[in-house]
Structures are given as C-alpha cells and as structure tokens.
C-alpha cells in the first residue's frame, strides 16, 4: 500500500498519517473532497472515526480541524469556494462599523467641510500670491481660458483639505458613537 494518497485533480500527496481516523478529507491544495479507500484504512488499522487523532502525532489532522468534512461540496462538482476550503479571505468590515454614523450626519459634515476647507486654502493662496484680488475678479469678469489658472491651482488642494476634514470628522464621530454603546 502507498504511504500517501494523491489527489486526482491537483496531484497533491497526502501522507496516510494525516488522514488516519477519517473516511473523507479535503485536499489542502485544491479543496476537493476525497475519500480514503478502505484498503488504506485497513492497512493502518483504523475504524474510520472522523474525529480520531492520528497515531503518529496524537492530534486531529489539519484537514479535519480546519475544513470540516461534508458529504458533498457546495457546487456539486468536487470543488469548494475559497471560503469553505479554509483559504483565508480578506476581512470585511462589519456592517455595524460602517454605518455607525447616520447618513444625514455624514451629509451635514460634507456640507460644512467644503467651505471650511476652502477658507484655509484661500488664505494660504492669498499669502503666497497664487490668488490676488485682481486674479479672483478676473475669474468672473475676464475673457479667455487663462482666467481659470488660479482655480485649477487651488481646486485640488481645496478638495484634499475638505475631504480630509470630512473624513476625520466622520471617523471621530464613529468612534464616539462606538464607545458610547
């Protein structure tokens, strides 16, 4: 008898001492549900209890402990989705953490953050000379596309400052609400 069982789908070899005590197990490479042949069970002298520890280590094999054995796969084709194979998925934020701050409050924060972000940007632009009184007046009464250059310089900075203010405010409110629960 072979010392290992080989998955017919991916070719991964599973030592017999890892599958002792079970009649089925999942391939650690592809997640396919595999049956342990009766000859392999009798060769090792095991009755086939699913939760029995291995003789070599005295522990439950990882394939049993992590994946759990089911009689069929989720899609009926011998393969499981990664979430059922024991493959770690990216952690999703909990729904509660995402919606802690009500939508109406978020909108109010954004409405306040837009002019609040413009004020420091306009002050810095005025001090540095990027936006003078004449340049501001030219935006409205001037002619040609060149009159919009000061706006094109200020707009990205204004957006970044406003978004940062809104984000920090919403996150802060969310933390306050979570700690108050």
What is the tens place of the pLDDT at every residue in 114-157? 999 999 998 999 898 888 888 888 888 888 888 888 888 889 99
DSSP letter assigned to residue 26: E
- Residue 63: what pLDDT? 53
pTM for the whole structure: 0.44
Please write the tens of the pLDDT for every residue from 49-60.
Answer: 444 444 444 555
Query: How many CB atoms neighbour CB 63 within 10 A?
Result: 20
Tokens of 57: 């280590």
- At 45, the pLDDT band (50, 70, 90 cuts) reads low
More confident residue, 71 or 103: 103
- Whole-angstrom Cα Rg for the chain: 32
Q: Degrees (nearest 5) of the Cα angle 84, 31, 56?
A: 105
């Amino acid at each position: 008898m072979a010392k290992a069982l080989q998955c017919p789908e991916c070719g991964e070899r599973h030592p017999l001492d890892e599958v002792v005590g079970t009649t089925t197990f999942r391939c650690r490479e592809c997640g396919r549900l595999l049956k342990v042949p009766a000859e392999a069970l009798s060769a090792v002298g095991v009755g086939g209890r699913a939760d029995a520890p291995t003789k070599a280590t005295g522990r439950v094999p990882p394939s049993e402990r992590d994946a759990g054995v089911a009689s069929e796969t989720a899609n009926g084709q011998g393969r499981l989705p990664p979430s059922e194979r024991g493959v770690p998925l990216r952690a999703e934020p909990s729904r509660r953490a995402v919606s802690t701050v009500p939508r109406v409050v978020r909108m109010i924060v954004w409405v306040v953050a837009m002019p609040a972000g413009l004020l420091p940007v306009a002050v810095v632009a005025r001090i540095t000379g990027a936006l003078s009184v004449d340049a501001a007046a030219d935006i409205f009464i001037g002619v040609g596309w060149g009159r919009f250059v000061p706006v094109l310089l200020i707009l990205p900075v204004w957006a970044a400052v406003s978004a940062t203010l809104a984000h920090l405010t919403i996150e802060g409110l969310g933390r306050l609400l979570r700690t108050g629960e």
